[in-house]
Amino acid sequence: MHKTRLHGKAPDGAPGAISHAFAYELFSAVAFNGTRKRIFGRLVELAEVTAGDEVLDIGCGPGYLTSLAADAASPGGHAVGVDVSEPMIAQAQRTRANAHCSFQLGKAEALDQADASFDVVVSSLAVHHIPAEARAAAFAEMFRVLRPGGRVLIADFLPPKGKLGRRLVGATAGETMRDNPVERIAPMLADAGFEIRSTTQVSWFLHCVRADKPGAAE
């Protein structure tokens, strides 16, 4: 997997982990150019997080989306962010943990969470970090931890189509992002058992898929 300076050294067995948590937090705040709250807020809306929901954010990084989801799930609900990077979890705990928002170390493709224990699973800009050969297992894990009728919202990087944009992304973020096959997310979710509800573009760089686990909501 291509690594950039921003990512730092990944631990063994987690090639997509980002170790430079504070640098990522800064980069994320700057790169969104004042739109981070609106864009991540839109993801929470698309996932239809409401008061009382139990929400899981996979590949949560420093926990920005987890925290917005936790606010939407309050009162009565809770959001937990999982990430394979210890520095990311430490940064999230330091800055965003509270009574309705928590964080723990975990791997998307082998989650510790119990079967049918969440109403909503969200994930932003993380799927392309999961090794390609582990992505089907990660989608199967999302399905397993959701209760029947639960919702999943995946947002991932949509590479630019133009030559110059592709060159820039390749040079700065690496070929994994430049060649990110976002069009495979919906079919892979369907293969895991989900019913696809919508495929949308929330900004020029975010491809979003909303899907549901079949079955009646309790």
Ligand X SMILES: C[S@@+](CC[C@H](N)C(=O)[O-])C[C@H]1O[C@@H](n2cnc3c(N)ncnc32)[C@H](O)[C@@H]1O
Residues 108-127 that bind ligand X (CB under 6 A): 108-109, 124-126
Between vectors from CA 118 to CA 114 and to CA 123, what angle results, nearest 5°? Answer: 105
Angstrom distance (rounded) from CA 60 to CA 189: 19
**Mask of contacts with ligand X, 128-167, x by CB under 6 A?**
-xx-------------------------------------
Is 88 an interacting residue with respect to ligand X (CB under 6 A)? yes
User: Which residues are CB-neighbours of 214 under 8 A, at least 6 positions away?
Assistant: 148, 149, 193, 194, 195
Q: How far is the CB of 24 from ligand X (least distance, A)?
A: 6
Angstrom distance (rounded) from CA 17 to CA 83: 8
Rg (CA), the chain: 16
Is 203 an interacting residue with respect to ligand X (CB under 6 A)? no
Q: What is the DSSP letter of 113?
A: S
Q: How far is the CB of 38 from ligand X (least distance, A)?
A: 14
**Mask of contacts with ligand X, 160-199, x by CB under 6 A?**
----------------------------------------
Is 107 an interacting residue with respect to ligand X (CB under 6 A)? yes
Residue 136 or 215: the one with the smaller Cβ distance to ligand X is 136
Q: What is the DSSP letter of 194?
A: P
Estimate the share of the chain in helix, then strand, then coil, as percent rounded to the nearest 5.
Answer: 40, 25, 35
Segments of the chain assigned E as strands? 54-58, 78-83, 101-105, 118-124, 146-157, 195-203, 206-212
Q: How far is the CB of 89 from ligand X (least distance, A)?
A: 9
**Mask of contacts with ligand X, 26-55, x by CB under 6 A?**
--x---------------------------
Chain positions contacting ligand X, by CB under 6 A: 14, 16-18, 28, 58-61, 64-65, 83-85, 88, 107-109, 124-126, 129-130
